[in-house]
Structure 1
């Protein structure tokens, strides 16, 4: 009997595959945005919702009825079409749906979908409790009437990046960290990635950026923009703490080959100026963009590098607009647009 998604012909599509919807988990946790910072980030968060809703439904996990009523009252203030919003009241711990949300796979012929329900431990047990977020993939599978499979190991959506053609990029600092799956070797982790994401190749970079409490998620450093092209963040300032690690990642990318033996087409994007808030350096990065149906939504931070990043990405994404949205308040929670979202791909049902 065929048991793994790969054996059954399922795979995780690239983010630019058409979406049925985007899932988010509405922020309410004061540990991520302390005190007034939570309310200060809401305008940026609703701007993100509005931009996504221009081309697809936004499905929102909502912690309780009071929060649901707050969201419904806020939508008209931001001119968001309520018909594009679906609210699901269930217990949640935090906002990072990329990591605790479901991994949607589609069949090779695009006829079916299923959900992979990875375990979630809040980046190595850093931020308990996380049990409610860990239950979200099963709850969404029930909402949608989809089958789900549970591999039984820790995995986060922000730690993996796909080209939709058999390749996944990830980082050693995260997936090989003993705070995730200490009982598994690199080969064993690769086998899980291949079997449950439906890929044939795993490519590894070393590490992530300063301020990233996820131990180096790939979605802050390297992203596919098509099946053979990646953007990678670089730090020109040799005195900056990010310079060395990003230079090492670039060196490793240049040595990689795709399944057909061809090298990666690598586009470099300079990091923004250091985003320092209350003496804390947040993990600001243009790589944390989100590709939705209507646009590519890029976090910007009010610095000169914003325009350069948007220009480079606009030349790479020619099938939809590239839009910069402020993330200066959101980034205090140590994540941005990609971290907050999880795409539900469209299937020819």
Structure 2
């Protein structure tokens, strides 16, 4: 029995070492607990109730992680900057980015998915934000004419460009993905494994199969998929 346990332990160690020695040129989606250069926080002038949370997060990260505040081009950054100043924060310490965006408070869902490799290179994945197409189908199911439903859902068009616009601003190569996906629905371990909700993925990608989605992720995102 002891020999068997030792053999199993040895196999696990060898496999772990192989994982650590991956080809440094291969891109992967880093785990959330890995070091990061900056964090993006969205804000809107019509939703000042979120200002205290944004300020608290910025204060907690001050001196350790850069903060980028993101808003729509229609917002007035001075309103938010004044709030930060009144709460004892130096606005010169932060970056303020304005881009065409409908839901700045949902950056985790509509913002870019960054990939990196052992050489320090970066890429971004531009996936299609899932809610727009889902909302269009929902309206049709409720009796709305397809053309009208598409027009109503087009309200979210600007969200579809958020990830590529942010990546392009930083000169990062963008990989276009055909999948409907929310950034907040992704869980990764930083070693090439992604955990997704199978029911949700099939619902927001009605023309795709589980197998085709796996192939898309494996070919373009270099992932092993675990549907749960």
The TM tier, using the shorter chain, reads: 0.7 to 0.9
User: In structure 2, what is the equivalent of residue 110 of structure 1?
Assistant: 119
The structure-2 alpha-carbon separation of the partners of 1:97 and 1:53, relative to structure 1 and needing over 3 Å to count, comes to: farther
When the two structures are superposed, what TM-score results if normalisation uses the length of structure 1?
A: 0.49
Contact 2:109-2:183 within 8 A present in 1 as well = yes
Q: Which has the higher helix share?
A: 2
Which consecutive residues of structure 2, in runs of 5 or more, have no partner in the other structure? 1-22, 137-152
Contact 2:70-2:96 within 8 A present in 1 as well = yes
Which consecutive residues of structure 1, in runs of 5 or more, have no partner in the other structure? 1-5, 31-37, 206-349
The structure-2 alpha-carbon separation of the partners of 1:123 and 1:55, relative to structure 1 and needing over 3 Å to count, comes to: farther
Matches within 5 A, 1:16-35: 16-27=33-44
When the two structures are superposed, what TM-score results if normalisation uses the length of structure 2?
A: 0.73
Q: Give a deviation string over 1:95-117, Cα, whole Å, max 9, x none.
A: 2111100011002x232001111
Higher Cα Rg: structure 1 or 2? 2
The structure-2 alpha-carbon separation of the partners of 1:165 and 1:15, relative to structure 1 and needing over 3 Å to count, comes to: same
Q: Does 1:100 align with 2:124?
A: no
Q: Give a deviation string over 1:191-231, Cα, whole Å, max 9, x none.
A: 222233322x22222xxxxxxxxxxxxxxxxxxxxxxxxxx
Q: Does 1:169 align with 2:195?
A: yes
**Superposition CA RMSD, Å:** 2.3
Q: Give a deviation string over 1:110-151, Cα, whole Å, max 9, x none.
A: 320011111114365439422112111121122101111112
Contact 1:13-1:162 within 8 A present in 2 as well = yes
Contact 1:25-1:92 within 8 A present in 2 as well = no
1:170 CA displacement: 1.3
Contact 2:43-2:51 within 8 A present in 1 as well = no
2:63 and 2:88 map into 1 onto residues whose CA distance is 11
User: In structure 1, what is the equivalent of residue 172 of structure 2?
Assistant: 146
